[in-house]
Structure 1
Amino acid sequence: MHAFTMTRAMGLTLAAAVLGLAGTQAAAKLPAPTEEQKAKAEVDKAKAAWSDKVAAFQLCKAQDKAAMAYQASGKGAHTQPGTPCADPGPFVPPTPAAAAPAASAPVAKG
């Protein structure tokens, strides 16, 4: 029984090593991303950040509503309101044309 588990463990180790080598070879052959892919990645990153802001805004509104209901019930002490919730507004994708000149602007020497 002991020999069986050793053989099985060696087989699993060998399989993991083969898959690891295949994974590194595949990753090495990937082409560099195109400008279009880079732009899409930037838009996706901006949209994810905006989604986080929307979620934080919704949470803030829900917390305010719960606090107001608790205070209205007479159980809680009436305190001053905290900072207002900041609405992130609609999603506006980043413009690559506006970002490119700033990155390639010449440095003034003085």
Structure 2
Amino acid sequence: MKKIILIAGFCIASLGLATSSFAKLAAPSEEAKLKAAEAKAKTAWSDKVGAYQLCKAQDKVAAGYLKAKGSAAPTPLATPACADPGPYVAAPAGPAPLAAATPASAVVATSPAASAPKK
């Protein structure tokens, strides 16, 4: 009987902890969004670098195998060449300010007197 009570108490406590984890989080700030986007871009670049390094290593191993085998010329395969992703380039800091995005010729200054109806 004590085991049943102990198990029931454990289940109730677990249920209480599980339901408290469904609380809604606040929306991330603009700074947090920019940091997340930067981290995502850096991770994508790191993945490309890893794929490039793997491609170069596979080419080296294949060349060593063909040399040891004594094959004069390898059979051409339809494999793409290794593409170097280049150095990491950080994305722009954020959206351009409105004043910088709007050309000066598009901004027309109007005064209240100029926009008043003529009598």
- TM-score by length of structure 2 reads 0.67
2:62 equivalent to 1:72:
no
Kindly provide the amino acid, as one letter, of the partner of residue 75 in structure 2: T
2:20 equivalent to 1:22:
yes
Kindly provide the amino acid, as one letter, of the partner of residue 72 in structure 1: K
Q: Which moved more, 1:51-60 or 1:78-87?
A: 78-87
| Structure 2 stretches lacking a partner, 5+ long | 99-119
Kindly provide the amino acid, as one letter, of the partner of residue 87 in structure 1: D
Q: What is the RMSD computed on CA atoms of the aligned residues? A: 2.5
The CA distance in 1 between the partners of 2:69 and 2:35, in whole Å, is 52
Kindly provide the amino acid, as one letter, of the partner of residue 34 in structure 1: S
Could you give the per-residue CA deviations for residues 35-66 of structure 1, whole angstroms, max 9, x where no partner exists? 11111110001011111111111111111111
Residues 79/38 of structure 1: CA separation in 2 closer, same or farther (3 Å cut) = same
Residue from 80, 85, 92 that aligns with 1:83: 80
| Structure 1 stretches lacking a partner, 5+ long | 102-110
SS in structure 2 opposite 1:66? helix
Identity rate, percent? 43
- TM-score by length of structure 1 reads 0.71
Structure richer in helix, relative to its length? 1
The CA distance in 1 between the partners of 2:36 and 2:89, in whole Å, is 15
Kindly provide the amino acid, as one letter, of the partner of residue 40 in structure 2: K
